[in-house]
Amino acid sequence: MVEIDPYSGFCNGVVRAIDKAEAYLAGHSHLYSLGAIVHNTDEIRRLEEKGLRIINSSDMEHLAGETVLVRAHGEPPATYALAARMGITLIDCTCPVVLKLQERIEKAYRECDATGGTVVIFGKRGHAEVNGLVGRTEGHALVIEDIAEISKIDFSRHIERFSQTTKDPDQYQALCEACMARTSDITIHNTICHTVAERHRRLAEFASSHDVILFVSGRDSSNGKVLEALCRQYNPRTYWVENVDMLDKGWLEGAASIGICGATSTPRWQLEQLAAGISQCGQVDLQ
C-alpha cells in the first residue's frame, strides 16, 4: 500500500504566490521573482519555462520600470524603498501570517527601543523570512537558531520572544521554557503558523503508521529539513528524495505500507508522481 499524506504539499502562502505568478505570466513574457518563489528545483524549473526569472535584491538596481514578485517569505522595508526609487511594480505575495508577524515585531521593537528591551527571534539566520523580520527592527533583533545559543541573550533586559513561522513548535517551546527559567521579564509570542504546527502533529502520526516514509523536498527548504527530521524521529526508515528519479527500490524491501509526504514547498504533483513511480515498481499498490 502506498499512501500520500493528505496534509502535505504547498501551504496557502506558496499556492497564492504561484497562482499570482502564473496569472501574470499568462499575459506577459517574463516575471522577475525576488528569490526562488519556492525552494523546490523541479517546480522552479516548471515556472522558469513559463517565463519566471529569479533575481536577488542587488539586481533590482538594474530593473527600473519592471515588475517584481515578492514571495510568501516577505521582504524587509529596504526592498520596498528600493522598488519605489526604481519605479518597480511589486506583486506582493507576502503570506498574511508572515505580514502580521512583521507588524507585531516592528511594534515590539519600537517599545523595546524606548524601554531598553530586546527582540529575540527563533529562526534560521539568512532565511528570507527572518531577513524580513529583522528588517522590521532596523537590524537590531537577535536571531537564535537553537537552544545551544541561549547564552547570546542578555537576560538583564526585557525580552520580546518571537519565532519564524515555520519552525518546530516543540523546539520553540523548549527554548521559551529555558528562557523563562532564567528570567521572568519576558513576553512570549506564539508566532508559529497554525497550519505548520498542525502539520507537525499530523505528520508524526503519519510517519508512525507506515513501514517506510519517503519525504519529498528540495534540499534548500528550511521547512523540509525540519519536517524530514520529524519523520525520522518517528520512523527511522525515512528517506529524503527531491523527485522520483532519486527513488531507490532497495528502500522498499519488506515494506507492506509506504507513506509519501513533503514540505510546505513540495508541490502535490511531485508526491503523486512518486506514488505512481512506486506502483510501477510492481511491489505495492497505490491506495
- Residue 286: inside a domain: no
Same domain, 101 and 189: yes
- Among all chains, which residue has been given the C-alpha cell 515556472? 47
Query: 208-239 burial by CB neighbour count: b if 16+ within 10 A, else e?
Result: eebbbbbbbbbeebbbbebbbebbbebbebbb
Alpha helices in the chain (DSSP H): 12-25, 41-50, 77-86, 96-115, 128-135, 169-180, 194-208, 222-234, 268-280
- Residue 211: inside a domain: yes
Same domain, 86 and 33: yes
Same domain, 101 and 174: yes
- Residue 270: inside a domain: yes
What's the pTM? 0.86
Please give the tally of structural domains in the chain.
3
Enter the C-alpha cell of residue 183.
Answer: 528570567
Domain's final residue, options 193, 222, 241: 193
- Tens digits of residue pLDDT in 84-108: 999 999 999 999 999 999 999 999 9
Domain's final residue, options 94, 117, 146: 94
Collapsed DSSP state (helix, strand, coil) of residue 197? helix
DSSP string, 6-40: TT-S--HHHHHHHHHHHHHHTSSS-EEEES-SSS-
- Among all chains, which residue has been given the C-alpha cell 505512481? 276
- Tens digits of residue pLDDT in 173-211: 999 999 999 999 999 999 999 888 888 899 999 999 999
What pLDDT score does 286 carry?
42
> Which of these is catalytic: 43, 66, 75, 129?
129
Is 129 among the catalytic positions?
yes
CATH number for the domain that contains residue 25: 3.40.50.11270
What pLDDT score does 280 carry?
76
CATH number for the domain that contains residue 157: 3.40.1010.20
| Residue spans of the chain under pLDDT 70 | 281-287
Domain that holds residue 40: 12-94
